[in-house]
Amino acid sequence: DQQVKQNSPSLSVQEGRISILNCDYTNSMFDYFLWYKKYPAEGPTFLISISSIKDKNEDGRFTVFLNKSAKHLSLHIVPSQPGDSAVYFCAASDRNAGNNRKLIWGLGTSLAVNP
Amino acid sequence: NAGVMQNPRHLVRRRGQEARLRCSPMKGHSHVYWYRQLPEEGLKFMVYLQKENIIDESGMPKERFSAEFPKEGPSILRIQQVVRGDSAAYFCASSLRTSAGNTEAFFGQGTRLTVV
């Protein structure tokens, strides 16, 4: 049972336009959400996170929006650049996990930014 | 400050052999997580360790797999009697612990295990 779902396996965007990557979750106990970027043959790199007490967090070109009632979050990248081409993973952790903030991952969305 | 270091980057083992994967966390990090990524799948949690303690191994297969994080030295993920289905990328992550309990984990580059 996939608790974190990224329903779009791939996304193609023109350079300079906005990229919107979506993520849905089923576990209402999740209280912390993260986005990671991953290039082939490398480990995931942390991008941005958001706590469930917020509905938006912004860092440069990256903004994450959280809609708790819909159990949905999205990552906006604007403007998109060719170097943003990578696989983007959404991950969540559970406040009931106590000291173990293990991450539950989506399957990823492969973003291609075309020059 | 070096990042999370995993070695080897690539490991080839024959069926029935043992695989040892090493992870040195970032300096100052005392929390280590191991994840596995099977082909065409997302990352799956395996085990969470603090120094000398296994905190949560709920994602680790009950047989053939073990993990340790000794007081000195790297964390080791050990797979005995490997089978073809163990072929995957194994990622280690480390983190600090903030008072809020929320902190991003930093990942190593992974070890790609191929069982032939």
* Tens digits of residue pLDDT in A8-56: 999 999 999 999 999 999 999 898 999 999 998 889 999 999 998 999 9
Q: Measured between alpha carbons, how far is B15 from B80 in angstroms, rounded to an integer?
A: 10
The DSSP symbol for B26 reads P
Q: Report the residue from A32, A43, A101 with minimal CB separation from B107.
A: A43
* C-alpha distance from B107 to closest chain A C-alpha (Å): 6
Residues of B with CB under 8 A from a CB of A: 4, 6, 33, 35, 41-45, 48, 55-56, 59, 91, 93, 95, 97, 101-110, 112
Give the angle B48-B51-B53 at the CA atoms, nearest 5°: 60
pLDDT computed for residue B64 by the predictor = 97
pLDDT 10s digits, B59-97: 999 999 999 999 889 999 999 999 999 999 999 999 876
pLDDT 10s digits, A55-69: 999 999 999 999 999
Q: How many CB atoms lie within 10 A of CB B1?
A: 5
Question: Is the per-residue pLDDT at B100 higher than 50?
Answer: no
pLDDT computed for residue B40 by the predictor = 76
Contact call for B42 and A93, based on CB within 8 A: no
* C-alpha distance from A7 to closest chain B C-alpha (Å): 12
pLDDT computed for residue A95 by the predictor = 65
Please answer whether residues A109 and A6 qualify as being in contact, where contact means their C-beta atoms are separated by less than 8 angstroms: yes
Among A77-81, B10-14, B46-50, whose mean pLDDT is lowest?
Answer: B46-50
CA A86 to mean position of chain CA atoms: 12
Question: Is the per-residue pLDDT at A96 higher than 70?
Answer: no
